[in-house]
Amino acid sequence: MKQSEELKEYITIYESLRKKYKWRVENGALMMIASLFTGSSKPFNLNRYIELVDFIKQESSPFSYIQSTLRYSLAGLLLSRSEQPEEDYRQIQKSYDLLIEAGFQRSSHSYIAAYVLSLSVKEGEELSQHVERAKNLYDGMKKQHFFLTSHEDYPLAVLLAEGEADGEQMLEDMAYYYDELHLALWKGNNRQFLSQILTYGKRENRQILVQNAVTWMDDLKTQKFRLRGLHLPIVGVVSLVSTPSALLPKIKEVYEELIGYSKFKWYKDHCFMAAVRLVIQKEIEESSVLDVGLAATVESIMQAQQAAVIASLAAGATANSSNGG
């Protein structure tokens, strides 16, 4: 199969990362980091990336959760969208400390929540007010589903708290989606993740969004995609953007290109997530279907979810050795 220019760029970035970090960073994480820069207006600069990775290491406690695979992911997130990534990392550290003071537990996902929070706060705004809104919403989520809600929900709680709707309305929407998705998913974390993502949709479209999400899951299974828990937030994102008939052929084409590359063929889950990201990114750039607000939200969700997956990969490696912040 002839490689597209987009795939060539993706492989070039991935290979440069792999050459430098293959003994330190899990291959799937490198694939996801490479997808951040593919098709981006900011070209990937390996030397600049290395500088930022080293900076984060020096600025953080030796026992911090950030001293793991997460450090490489966060460096990619910052470098792909920030003009001053070092300064923004200091803002993330400040946000992290405030989240911990507010009652969030120390974890890799707390760092992702801090990253999300740093994206939301505008100059001159009081950071503590954003933290308070996020904690109130998280506590409401915990009250609804005590045994399902954990540190893995921190990033989405922060994102949702930055929405225009008030907390009670969002919690009611979340409960609606959770209940309505019983046709497609068993009770549990996967169903909760999907209900959280769908809460970003317009309230008057709730029934349509549920049907679109169910159709996406059915069509993906028909196309032989194995849906795992880490895919459910992605299903929520594509449900917000468009229908399977409009997007699935494009996603499948990119996915098949990716798994056709020898070093990716054992990483089908990561190829699926990368394919969705590359297709959605193009839709955001080229389509007039999404309004500016939703486009920005979709991009934030994708970045937070992608980093959260890497945080989960990193958590196992750091759980036994990390006692710091």
**Helix axes 154-161 and 127-144, enclosed angle (nearest 10):** 120
> Phi/psi at 106 (nearest 5 deg)?
-70, 125
Quick check: 201 and 209 in contact, CB under 8 A? yes
188 band by pLDDT with thresholds 50, 70 and 90: confident
317 band by pLDDT with thresholds 50, 70 and 90: very low
Q: What confidence tens digit (pLDDT) does each residue in 77-129 have?
A: 999 888 899 999 999 999 999 999 999 999 888 999 999 898 887 777 788 99
Quick check: 31 and 44 in contact, CB under 8 A? no
> Alpha carbon of 266 to those of 34, 95, 223, 235, 272: distances in Å?
17, 37, 18, 22, 12
pTM for the structure as a whole:
0.88
269 band by pLDDT with thresholds 50, 70 and 90: confident
318 band by pLDDT with thresholds 50, 70 and 90: very low
- Among candidates 203, 197, 250, which has minimal Cα distance to 223? 250
Answer whether residue 202 shows pLDDT above 90. no
Residue 231 token pair: 């895919």
How many other CB atoms sit within 10 Å of the CB of residue 260? 13
CA 254 from centroid of its chain's CA atoms: 19
- The mean of the pLDDT values for the chain is 86
Residues 5-40 as b or e (16 or more Cβ within 10 Å = b):
ebbebbbebbebbbebbeeebbbbbbbbbbbbbbee
Look at residue 323 in the predicted model and tell me its pLDDT: 42
Look at residue 319 in the predicted model and tell me its pLDDT: 42
Residues 46-84 as b or e (16 or more Cβ within 10 Å = b):
eeebeebbebbeeebeeebbbbbbbbbbbbbbbbbbbee
68 band by pLDDT with thresholds 50, 70 and 90: confident
Look at residue 307 in the predicted model and tell me its pLDDT: 67
1 band by pLDDT with thresholds 50, 70 and 90: very low
Look at residue 311 in the predicted model and tell me its pLDDT: 62
- The mean-pLDDT minimum among 3-7, 257-261, 317-321 falls in 317-321
Q: What confidence tens digit (pLDDT) does each residue in 203-261 have?
A: 788 999 999 999 999 999 999 888 877 778 888 889 988 899 999 999 999 999 999 99
Q: What confidence tens digit (pLDDT) does each residue in 272-307 have?
A: 988 998 888 888 777 655 666 677 778 777 777 776
Quick check: 32 and 302 in contact, CB under 8 A? no
Look at residue 300 in the predicted model and tell me its pLDDT: 75
- Among candidates 88, 68, 233, 216, which has minimal Cα distance to 152? 233
Q: What confidence tens digit (pLDDT) does each residue in 144-153 have?
A: 999 889 988 9
Q: What confidence tens digit (pLDDT) does each residue in 130-166 have?
A: 999 999 999 999 999 998 899 889 988 998 888 777 8
**Helical H runs in 103-165?**
108-120, 127-144, 154-161
**What are the residues whose beta carbons fall under 8 Å from the beta carbon of 70, sequence distance 6 or more?**
108, 111, 112, 307, 310, 311, 314
Residue 209 token pair: 């969004």
Task: Kindly report the length of the chain.
Answer: 325
Look at residue 256 in the predicted model and tell me its pLDDT: 93
Look at residue 325 in the predicted model and tell me its pLDDT: 61
Look at residue 3 in the predicted model and tell me its pLDDT: 61
CA 261 from centroid of its chain's CA atoms: 24
Look at residue 123 in the predicted model and tell me its pLDDT: 73
